Structure 1
Amino acid sequence: MIWLRKTRLILLLLRGMLVCATVFPWASIAMRERLIRNWSCKLLKLCGVEVEVQGLAPGQPAPRGAMMVANHISWLDIYVIHSWHPARFVAKSEIRAWPLIGWLCEKTGTIFIERGRKRDAHRVLHHITDVMRQGDLVCVFPEGTTTDGTEVLPFHANLMQAPVAGGLPVQPVGLRYLDAATGLPTVAPAYIGDLSLLQSLDMILRAPPIKVRLTLGPQLMATSTSRRELAESAREVVVHLSAGAQEAAFHVADAFHEPNNSAPRYSGTLRGLAEPSTNNLA
């Protein structure tokens, strides 16, 4: 049956391209967001992935005008976030050249950056600040690479300059993939090592049903700190959110906002930390 699901995924991809080419040019922002969210939900359903959202009260709107930072495990991360609330992702410019996927990313608002070019980095920082001031939610993966989900790597601080310069909030998000039946962590979605995109897709389709837990934490206000301090505290919050330790995440945020800005430091490993105790099914 995997071949049938792959066929349906190809048809969904082609449908997405058709919508981007014919509907997006005249669609309102609200309509675009609705189309992106619906398409992402269908993609995840075909992949056997269920999304569970935590940390957002019922009826509470998604944050806007902020930079979302999250740990990075899989190419699915983008669609997990899109299924909750469409965001503008920041990605390396090489992705724009990928067949089909690069074109779709561009049409759905991805901000591309040429890594290693200082001038382009400045351009992107100004652009990110501008679109956040206009109310957009911009998402970055500050680890700069993917992991198997058992740890959160140090955050690169460069893009944190945008919320610092604009006095805008940072919204930490923790992602964790679980076996839907047992609740235990699964590495099936991990897009790491020498895996190709097709090999990663095969692993996901052959795995038992997957539940991904998306946990929102307290926002960090970047008005009186350096980008490096902001990156370190944001990472600590994400570490706890990824492990389901939401109370500890709030402690880190409270410490960050204190005048001495002396939040405690953690190693970033997820093994042995507590599982989430509250559920908010999306």
Structure 2
Amino acid sequence: MRKLRMLRRLVMFFTGIIGCYSFVVVGRVVCNMRGRSWMSWRNRWVRYWARYSIWLTGGKLTVIGTPPKPPFVLVSNHLTYVDVPSFFATIDSVFVSKMEVKSWPILGPIVAGVNTIFVDRSRRSDILRVNELIAEQLDDEHGLIVFPEGTSTEGAEVLPFKPSLLAFPASQGLPVHYASISYRTPPGEIPAHISIGWAVDGDPFLTHLLRFFSIKSYEVEVRYGAEPVLASDRKVLAEELWNRINEEFVPSVIKDSECQMSHS
């Protein structure tokens, strides 16, 4: 049953993502020909894809709090690639992502095609270029989402935030919104920290993706903070945002004994 579910979802997922991306590309060409902004078209189809993807994979999305309205800068803890559709389903946004994603087969070009900002974390000088792109991306049609942990985790804790990508909002006096994201799977299912949370130094991406497609259902909860954080020092800003998110954070990691029971 798991293998059949996995294969069905795999086919439907890539069919859906290629289909939606095709509409995004066509819309961009048409809007450029007419001299119009294509972002509202892009936002609509990205939102369709995100909600379709969550439904297809058996997800139930719960939103607590009020999502910010564009333009905005928002930071969140980062657990998995599933974070992306979970946020896309609720707010119009673009993401800052690691450069490696750009080279992923099929997904890389698609992610790049929806205005994702890529950062090369191996080059400290790249932060200047990225902060310039962040300034260009902020407008009334969408906001920007940053994962300042710099990596995804299984969900045991919130890692310390890297302040470098918060230099622009700090220098411009922009308030930064925040959110906490967490996942749960039902009793008897593969635990969320194994089936959904993805530490990049763990299983290869494809191995993890197939495992994720095999689970029957899961819950994802996004908690938006009540008030944004304002600070002129990027390190102070990063620390306060970490404190706020850590207060709301719900760990996904469960005890080893429970994990063993779920596989039996």
Per the alignment, do residues 211 and 180 of structure 1 end up closer, same or farther by CA in structure 2, a change over 3 Å counting? farther
**Cα distance change, pair 95–201 in 1 and its aligned pair in 2 (3 A):** closer
The CA deviation string for residues 225-251 of structure 1, in whole angstroms up to 9 with x for no partner, is: 3111110110111112223xxxxxxxx
Maintained 8 Å contact 1:20/1:104: no
Q: Name 1:178's counterpart in structure 2.
A: 184
Give me the whole-angstrom Cα distance separating, in 2, the residues matched to 1:105 and 1:36. Answer: 11
Counterpart for residue 191 of structure 1: 198
Question: What amino acid is aligned across from residue 68 of structure 2 in structure 1?
Answer: A
Q: In the superposition, relative to structure 1, how do residues 186 and 98 fare at CA in structure 2: closer, same or farther (>3 Å)?
A: closer
Confirm or deny: 8 A CA contact 2:171 2:232 kept in the other structure.
Answer: no
Q: 1:10 aligns with which of 5, 14, 37?
A: 14
Higher relative contact order, structure no. (Cα contacts within 8 Å, ≥ 6 residues apart): 2
Partner of 1:251: none
Q: In the alignment, what sits opposite 1:141?
A: 147
The aligned length equals 242
Q: 2:122 aligns with which of 98, 106, 116?
A: 116
State the match for 2:244 in structure 1.
237
Instruction: Output one character per residue of 1:158-211: Cα deviation in whole Å (capped at 9) or x when no partner.
Output: 0111111121111111001012579xx732201123312222222222224101
Structure 2: runs of 5+ lacking an equivalent: 32-37, 255-264
Describe the shift of the 1:47–1:271 C-alpha distance in structure 2 as closer, same or farther (beyond 3 A): closer
Confirm or deny that 1:219 pairs with 2:227. yes
In structure 2, the partner of 1:53 is: 63
**TM-score of the aligned structures, taking structure 2 as reference length:** 0.82
User: Structure 1 residue 96: deviation in Å?
Assistant: 1.7
CA distance in 2, matches of 1:45, 1:107: 23
Amino acid at match of 1:194: G
**Which of 92, 101, 113 is the equivalent residue of 1:86?**
92
Mapped pair 1:201 → 2:209: yes
Letter of the 2:183 partner, please give it.
Y
Q: How does 1:254-265 map to 2 (within 5 A)?
A: none
Counterpart secondary structure, 1:44: helix
Q: Deviations over 1:61-80 (max 9, x none)?
A: 63222211111111110111
Rounded Cα–Cα distance in structure 2 between residues aligned with 1:123 and 1:136: 20
CA distance in 2, matches of 1:38, 1:181: 30
Is contact 1:65–1:168 with CA below 8 Å preserved after alignment?
A: no
**Mapping of 1:101-112 within 5 angstroms?**
101-112=107-118
Q: CA offset at residue 214 of structure 1? A: 0.3
Instruction: Report deviation, 1:140.
Output: 1.0
Aligned partner of 1:276 in structure 2 is none
1:97-116 CA-partner distances (Å, limit 9, x unpaired) = 22221111111110112223
C-alpha change, 1:85 and 1:73, in structure 2 (3 Å) is same
| Cα distance in 2, alignment partners of residues 22 and 135 from structure 1 | 19
Partner in structure 2 of residue 42 of structure 1: 52
More helix by share: 2
Q: Conserved in 1, the CA contact under 8 Å of 2:43 and 2:92?
A: yes
TM-score computed with the length of structure 1 as normaliser? 0.78
**Cα gap change, 1:91/1:270 in structure 2, threshold over 3 Å: closer, same or farther?**
closer
1: CA distance between counterparts of 2:89 and 2:139? 23
Structure 1 234/5 Cα, relative in aligned 2: closer, same or farther at 3 Å? same
**Distance (Å, rounded) in 2 between the aligned partners of 1:151 and 1:164:** 25
Give the AA of the match of 1:23. Answer: G
Contact kept in structure 2, 1:68 and 1:139, CA below 8 Å:
yes
Q: Classify 1:16/1:270 alpha carbon distance in 2 versus 1 (closer, same or farther; 3 Å).
A: closer
Tell me how large the CA RMSD over aligned residues is. 2.5
